[in-house]
Amino acid sequence: MDLGITGKVALVTGGSRGLGLQCALSLAREGVNVAICGRTQATLDKTVDELKSMGSRSMGVVADVSDLSAVDSLHRQVVDGVGAIDILVNNVGGSRSNFDILEISLDDFRGTFDLNLFGGFQLMKLTIPHMRDQKWGRIINIASIWGREHGGNISYMSAKAALIGATKHAALTLVKDGVLVNSIAPGSISHPDGGWERFQNDSTPEVVESFIEHNLPAGRFGWPEPVGDTVAFLASERASMITGACLLIDAGQSKSMI
Catalytic residue status for 97: no
The half-sphere exposure of 46 on its side-chain side, counting CA atoms within 13 A, is: 8
Catalytic choice (156, 159, 171, 233): 156
Label residues 144-167 b or e (16+ Cβ within 10 Å = b). Answer: bbbbbeebbbbbbbbbbbbbbebb
d(CA 60, CA 47): 8
Which of the 8 DSSP states describes residue 189?
A: B
| Residue 134 CB coordination number (10 Å) | 13
Closest to 166 measured CA to CA, from 203, 214, 121? 121
**Phi and psi of 137, rounded to 5°?**
-175, 155
| Helix (H), strand (E) at residue 53 | helix 41-53
Strands (E), 41-126: 59-62, 87-90
| Residue 223 CB coordination number (10 Å) | 12
| Residue 219 CB coordination number (10 Å) | 8
Residue type, 207: V
| Residue 218 CB coordination number (10 Å) | 12
The residues annotated as belonging to the active site are 156
